[in-house]
Chain A
Amino acid sequence: MTMKKPFAITLDPGSSLANKTGAWRTERPVYVDRLPPCNHTCPAGEDIQGWLFQAEGGNYEAAWRHLTRDNPFPAIMGRVCYHTCEGACNRAKLDTAVGINSVERFLGDEALKQGWALAGPEAENGKHVLVVGAGPSGLSAAYHLRRMGYRVTVVEAGDKPGGMMRWGIPKYRLPRNVLDAEVARIAAMGVSFRYGEKVADTAATMKALGADAAFLAIGAHIAKRATIPAKDSARILDAVSVLRSMEGAEPPMLGRRVVVYGGGNTAIDVARTARRLGATESIIVYRRNREKMPAHDFELEEALEEGVTVKWLSTIAAAEGGQLTIEKMVLDAEGKAQPTGEFATLDADSLVLALGQDVDMSLLQCISGLVTADGVVQVDPETMMTGHPGLFAGGDMAPGERNVTVAIGHGKRAARHIDAWLKGEVLAAKPERPLAEFGRLNTWYYSDAPGTMRPVLDLARRTSSFDEVQGGLNEDTALFEARRCLSCGNCFECDNCYGVCPDNAVIKLGPGNRFEINLDYCKGCGICVSECPCGAIDMVPEEG
């Protein structure tokens, strides 16, 4: 089309769209998904940023489904997980870490309230796997294997499921109705449970069941003993049996003055349990100082609030009648406790040893190829397979930190590798995505929003009942907390790149579809990269 033109004008007006400024570019922006530090540290391999993204929108069921892809126990996790994720959270460098654990608990409780069911297998694959032990690791493996289509039989020596979640963790931290409800969901997927049956011969049990592989997760239930010279009259118990007997009809008789020997979380659990059972004095004796104590500081803090006291730098040299002999210790240059030869006495109605637990190796003796070292069964850390082909192991009986979340992670990893092994495949380790570091964030864009505190039971009830100490968030506070997530390294569709491009060279693809660079016009200025709040765009040199 030609127009009637004014004087001295010879060309029709055209659009600058004809001018492809993309030719100027020497570098191009590329959208990436980096690994958020929370996901990176999660022992259970949860996609935390992923489920928080759903929760931010109030899509709690979608968030819960996303979470349970990796971990079937959000309500338990939200109570007992030591949340290393929060320790790694980038938001801690701005104000306080996102309360991931409290949002997880909210989602877990919401699921129980709404009765959401775990997704079962899409199809049965006809194979059968034996799981020995119904603790966190065994249950996690059973859940993942069942989702993949395996028949799963869990054989448990005790009369109830849960392992240390039931026999070790006190009710005030994990109410049993929560534990029962989350385990029941796994049973509802079609996992078979057999209780009260100790597997003495794994091969025979597998044969009887027709199982193609087995996952061993028998835990570590034998209390370590210390050689304390003691007269018969001294009342000495161990932490494992004390905590276990809390599940029975008769609470243990500990008396009014209880001394707990040890510095781990179990020692604290026993000391707090003793207070609730009516002990007027509950004293922890630990050979090193607070900095060296393996127990989590927040648990110690809660115990101190409840009136538990600690004798630091002390060992128990002897026990006789109602009296203990305590030796003072000093830390040497390497931080090891050394005796001083100074003694004192301490009155005690009972002494509870909380010095760690061992694995019951007697069950494993008849299995060929099994390698044990340091009191645990050695496994390939990548696959969780023991020296015996087709036999996998995890949880407290395998090397690693002993806590519920690590055990759940073991179960998940083992399930994947059992699946691969049965298919005759080798599961190649996925290359880990580069970490979403704090330095890549443009934090100016995030609103100031300090963290939300969880309600805590009042102290009077904490020392007189086994009611749950830590409360949960309600929907408002959980939503607020979820929205504090910075979405490190993963696009959350804030439209910044789309808005800040001076060349209109970012194409918005619509909700859920993110963005695309229009390379015809992108000049490669890099503003989108600088202004991306969450560091989800890389600048890469053009080739040639």
Chain B
Amino acid sequence: MTQEVKFYQTGTFTVGNRLLDEGQRTVQASVARSNALTSGHRACQGCGEALGARFAVDAAMRATQGQLIAANATGCLEVFSTPYPETSWQLPWLHSLFGNAAAVGSGIAAALKVKAIKAGKAQSEVRVIAQGGDGGTTDIGFGCLSGMFERNDDVLYICYDNEGYMNTGVQRSSATPPGARTATTVPLGPNPGEEFGRGKNVPLIAVAHGIPYVATATVADLHDLEAKVEKAMSLRGARYLQIFVPCPLGWGAASCDTIRLARLARETGLFPVFEAEHGEIASVTKIRHPAKVEEYLRLQKRFAHLFGAHGRPDIIARIQGIADKNIKRFGLIAEEVAP
């Protein structure tokens, strides 16, 4: 009848835990975290991308003992963090163009490899990440990204997915979900918002490249996110991590709901959280407390046209269908284990 006391019951999923060993707490719980993206940046209130970037880069900094260089695509993350001459980045950081972050990452990795060989070492101790938003990754930078994957360059590419071009005024990207209003997918006509059947699933495309490691994560589950960054940094070759980062401005959501939205995206099944190694799905993070998509959609003005007197329950049902399909496809809900 007794259950093992292996964790602090009220803190297992929290950032820290006063009763756990330091080593079992998250990087973010530590006052020694690198704060790779420090205060004073100009991201909006409640920015999910700023949060996701600090979570991921701090974890990568710990995994590499601070031996890390970042290449950054154009986008919110670059604009809000580095208005000339200030920067919020506390690591070597390069910005070149919108679409070439993966290529810049590949180049840095190649240079480091040459340096290491010249120094008589098998490989570089300094590691490389390349990062950008979904626009710079799934649309504009996609060719460079695919090239980085197929050459298996030693770069971790991190895509902060906020489902649109937020920096330029909330336009549609190939990561914008069906039904969502953006400046370019207006909520008019029989199919308001983004059309069903468009867009692409870059994590699965990355899996199809057969690269060593692909994972998805959200800003709502820090333990999961940090474990994935750590895993990625323990491997060599091309790796891809897509982090779901809600955008209060672009989604028309309350700034305090950023993490709640990310949590709901996972708990509804709309954003499947999984890991893949060498082309095969290796693990899936199960839904803890299942939720219906309506709860998630209601919090966002980009879906406001689906509700109210002239609402579109049929479209909500189609979105629920996407979630249900994900749950089935990835096995997101734990099967009842027979006692």
Contact = CB atoms under 8 A, between A and B. Distances in A.
Interface stretch (A19-27, A117-125, A286-294, A347-355): A19-27
Contact of B9 (A447, A477, A503, A511): A447
Given A57-B18, A495-B28, A525 B46 contact: yes
B201 interface: no
Among A20, A21, A496, max chain B CB count under 10 A is at A496
B1 A498 contact: no
B15 interface: yes
A85 to B, nearest CB: 17
Given A13-B85, A525-B45, A56 B8 contact: yes
Given A17-B39, A525-B45, A530 B259 contact: yes
Contacts of A446: 9-10, 12-13
A493 B84 CA distance: 38
B284 interface: no
Contacts, number: 181
Contact of B40 (A16, A453, A501): A16
At the interface, is chain B mostly helix, strand, loop or mixed? loop
Interface stretch (A149-157, A208-216, A337-345, A480-488): A480-488
Interface in A57-89: 57
Interface in A1-26: 11-21, 24
Among A479, A486, A502, A527, max chain B CB count under 10 A is at A502
Interface string B1-29: 11101011111111111110000011011
Interface in B24-39: 25-26, 28-29, 31, 35, 37-39
Contacts of B19: 56-57, 483
Contact of A525 (B29, B222, B258): B258
Contacts of B174: none
Contacts of B88: 15-16
Contacts of B47: 502, 525
Contacts of A526: 46, 254-256
A484 B9 contact: yes
Nearest to A19: B40
B2 A445 contact: no
B10 A485 contact: yes
Contact of A18 (B12, B26, B86, B289): B86
Contacts of B41: 16, 19, 21, 503
B40 A477 contact: no
A449 B86 contact: no
A531 to B, nearest CB: 5
B278 interface: no
B87 interface: yes
A11 B84 contact: yes
Given A447-B12, A511-B18, A502 B43 contact: yes
Contacts of A18: 40, 86
Nearest to B37: A504
Contacts of A487: 10
Interface of B: 1-3, 5, 7-19, 25-26, 28-29, 31, 35, 37-43, 45-48, 50-51, 54, 81, 84-88, 222, 248, 254-260, 263, 288-289
Given A16-B86, A480-B3, A539-B256, 20 more contacts: A15-B86, A15-B87, A16-B88, A445-B14, A446-B9, A476-B5, A494-B17, A496-B14, A498-B29, A502-B54, A503-B39, A503-B41, A508-B31, A520-B39, A523-B46, A526-B255, A526-B256, A527-B255, A531-B259, A533-B10
Interface of A: 11-21, 24, 56-57, 444-447, 449, 452-453, 476-477, 479-480, 483-487, 492-496, 498-505, 508, 510-511, 518, 520-521, 523-527, 529-531, 533-534, 539
19 contacts: A14-B85, A14-B87, A57-B19, A444-B288, A445-B13, A446-B10, A446-B12, A453-B1, A484-B10, A494-B15, A494-B16, A495-B26, A499-B15, A502-B48, A502-B54, A504-B38, A525-B47, A526-B254, A530-B257
